[in-house]
Structure 1
Amino acid sequence: MPREGQGDSVATDTAGRRRSKRWTVFRIIKWIVIVAILLLLAPYVLVLVYKPHAVKPVSTLMIGEMLTGRAYERQWVAFDDIAPVLVQSVMMSEDGQYCAHDGVDWSELNSVIDDALDGEATRGASTIPMQTVKNLFLTNSRTVIRKGLEIPLAMWSNQIWGKKRTMEIYLNVAEWAPGVFGVEAAAQTYFGVAAKDLTRRQAALLAVTLPNPIERNPANPTRNLGKLASTIQARARQSGAYIKCLYD
């Protein structure tokens, strides 16, 4: 039989272990929450860091290439050293309302949501600011969570960077081929010219390559890709009213 007081001691020890275990679990949860908050806030801080033109951000894909030991090409080029025909073509292909929205094309996004609710096939509604923050801070996974993170980040970056800086970053981090990032590397890889010397046709072909840079080759376009480039080339010629925020 346990001696007098021994039972109370065992009960006290058991209760103490339970409290200690609960406290350990609480601390683990607390640190998980703190880390999650820091990870969520980090991109907003980095947007501020990336505002100066002297800063040359890298994308998550570039970081992935570095971590896996694979080489990639990227030569940063200032916005003013990129052929305007390339900027016009990318805008007409990727985000025709670029100068008009606040980082998110709400009308287009609402249309996509309505189509999804109706069970219809959906199309992309990502603006250039949305694609830029995705390239810099997020993954390529097509999930509701990623989109939920992407939208406020796009609005924040649009406010902090402005249109010209956003476009400069986008054109320097976009992937144009496996391991080829930025318009300067793309122009030289595919056409052997600098980004400032691209022709209208070359610019249009590069622009229509962006949605699928792994399978599309602007230097050797298929018939369909060539037709699409012709459409974008025609739109780019008439884009004067749409690009005033970049060439005022």
Structure 2
Amino acid sequence: MDEAPLAPVQAPRRWRWLRRLLWLPVAFVAATVAQVAVLRFVDPPTSAFMLARQAEAWSQGEWRFRVAYDWRDLDTISPHLPLAVIAAEDQRFASHWGFDLDAIEQAIDHNARGKRIRGGSTISQQVAKNLFLWQGRSWLRKGLEAWYTLLIEAMWPKRRILEVHVNVAEFGDGIYGAQAAARSYWRKDAARLTMDESARLAAVLPAPRRYSASRPGPYVQRRAAWIQRQMRQIGGPDHLRRLD
């Protein structure tokens, strides 16, 4: 009499879960690489920071609040603004690979002396944070920021990084990007921003909800004057040609 075939041996459940867990890093890498690759060519319709600000407003019952955001290609934005942002935030932008160790060291030393808190983030790091992450401080967020920064630097040219930055940076409460800022503050297009206006926009970037580019107080005025001197010192609009 023939014996019944043996049933296939089932792997213990814990091993099946382990195999699934091992696939999580692979899935994470694939998903994040795809995100950054797509945004190399596709202009972002929104960002993590914009979504968070909109959700915050609705959670507080501000149902009429709408984020102001209107994408403009870098060639249609006044060169004064990207230059002002580089002068204010990341003068080694053209030469570093996403991280400026000297700036980080200077920021740590500056903050240790009890002065106004200064960050050491590069423009690339800020793009990674604004596009994909959340506000706040944690080792998890910093780790993700570093990972996205590496991907952005590896997959995007410098001009694309700068273009995205000046379009998604927050220049006022709920005001994101050069065009929205130019329209909100001066009723003009981003192409017509002056050197002074651009310097004031760059001056408020550390705390755009605290400071105003259209009604600058003493700090923003001093900061904007310093930024304009730096814009001239690093070579003016010709400096942007180093990104080509």
Q: Do both proteins adopt the same fold according to a TM-score greater than 0.5, normalized to the shorter chain?
A: yes
For the residues of structure 1 that align with 2:13 and 2:49, how far apart are their CA atoms?
37
Aligned pairs, how many?
A: 224
Q: Distance in 1 between matches of 2:101 and 2:205?
A: 22
Q: Which has the larger radius of gyration?
A: 1
- Report how far residue 143 of structure 1 moved: 2.2
Moved more, 126-135 or 145-154: 145-154
**Counterpart for residue 149 of structure 1:** 144
Aligned match for 2:72, one of 42, 52, 77: 77
Secondary structure, counterpart of 1:38 in structure 2: helix
Residues 1:93 and 2:88 are matched in the alignment: yes
Aligned residue number for residue 6 of structure 2: none
Query: For residue 64 of structure 1, what is the amino acid of its counterpart?
Result: A
1:232 lines up with 2:220 in the alignment: no
- Structure 1 residue 125: deviation in Å? 0.8
Residue 171 of structure 2 aligns to a residue whose secondary structure is: strand
Distance in 2 of aligned mates of 1:171 and 1:225: 19
Q: Which letter maps to 1:185? A: A
Corresponding letter in the other structure for 2:50? M
Mapped partners of 2:149, 2:82: distance in 1: 19
* Cα deviation code 1:62-100 (max 9, x no counterpart): 223455655211110000011011111111111111111
Give the alignment's TM-score, normalised by structure 2.
0.80
CA contact (8 A) 2:84 2:228 kept: yes
| Structure 2 unmatched ranges of 5 or more | 1-9, 59-64
Amino acid of the structure 2 residue aligned with 1:109: I
Instruction: Give, in whole Å, the separation in 1 of the partners of 2:17 and 2:172.
Output: 42
Query: Given residue 27 of structure 2, which amino acid in structure 1 is its aligned partner?
Result: L
Pairing partner for 2:52 from 44, 49, 64: 64
Determine if the alignment matches structure 1 residue 158 to structure 2 residue 153: yes
Unaligned 5+ residue runs, structure 1?
1-19
- Cα distance in structure 1, aligned partners of 2:78 and 2:112: 41
Q: Which residue of 2 aligns with 1:179?
A: 174
1:244 aligns with 2:241: yes
Normalising by structure 1, we get a TM-score of 0.79
**For 2:44, what is the secondary structure of its paired residue?**
coil
- SS of the residue corresponding to residue 185 of structure 1 reads helix
Superposition RMSD on alpha carbons, in Å?
2.8
